[in-house]
A and B are shown apart, each in its own frame.
Chain A
Amino acid sequence: DAGVIQSPRHEVTEMGQEVTLRCKPISGHDYLFWYRQTMMRGLELLIYFNNNVPIDDSGMPEDRFSAKMPNASFSTLKIQPSEPRDSAVYFCASSSLGLAGDTDTQYFGPGTRLTVL
């Protein structure tokens, strides 16, 4: 089975530009998470979805950040306008809850390294 897929793997953009990060969760998983990782703050949960519905977006830093999950196999994280302090690695992870024998382990994608100049 394919794992969590993220694109692009690397993104370099200029301040003020719109950035869209994409994620395809593991098939059958009903939870999807977006994390941001920086040296200063470590791994931070930005938002997560259950069955395509946003459950908790309290970690989204500002209104410049938005996330959508139009269907069970696709999610986007958008930053508009981007700023240099948004430079980080953004991870998408997915998990399932309630399946027999499942431990709701979150499986991570390879991440998108974002650099905002």
Chain B
Amino acid sequence: AQKITQTQPGMFVQEKEAVTLDCTYDTSDPSYGLFWYKQPSSGEMIFLIYQGSYDQQNATEGRYSLNFQKARKSANLVISASQLGDSAMYFCAMREALENSGYALNFGKGTSLLVTP
């Protein structure tokens, strides 16, 4: 079963505007973590922001913020004041604990964001 769902294959936003990238997740584990990564055309995976399931406040990192709605199991990424350099693929991921004391990181299929002048 798919654990992370990103329903927007592609998004457009005008420079300097804000944009929200959607992410919903599915887990029965009370302890989990949610991550967003950026993958520009050069291919590297860049960590952006983290939200723990027990965190009381929404995470923020500069122009990135995470709109965490636990009851709805959503963890949307908000990028404020978009820049041309924000054009990239964005992946939502969830960390879950495993029985063997390890953990897995499940990735969504990604959203391609294009920032236009």
Binding site for B on A (CB under 8 A): 33, 42-43, 45, 48, 50, 55-56, 89, 91, 93, 97, 103-111, 113
Contact = CB atoms under 8 A, between A and B. Distances in A.
Interface string B39-69: 0000111110010100000000000000000
Contacts of B46: 108
Given A103-B33, A103-B50, A110-B43, A33 B105 contact: yes
B33 A43 contact: no
Given A103-B33, A106-B47, A107-B47, A42 B109 contact: yes
Nearest to A44: B107
Interface stretch (B10-18, B20-28, B75-83, B94-102): B94-102
Contacts of A43: 91, 107
Nearest to B50: A103
A89 B33 CA distance: 25
Main secondary structure of the interface of B (DSSP, over half): strand
Contact of A89 (B43, B98, B110): B43
Contact of B95 (A50, A56, A104, A113): A104
A108 B45 contact: yes
Contacts of B108: 42
A50 B102 CA distance: 8
A105 B102 contact: no
B90 interface: no
Given A42-B110, A45-B105, A50-B102, A113 B43 contact: yes
Contact of A42 (B33, B43, B102, B107): B107
B98 A56 contact: yes
Contacts of B98: 56
A43 B102 CA distance: 19
Nearest to B35: A105
Contact of A56 (B52, B104, B107): B104
Nearest to A107: B47
A59 B16 CA distance: 41
B105 A106 contact: yes
B43 A105 contact: no
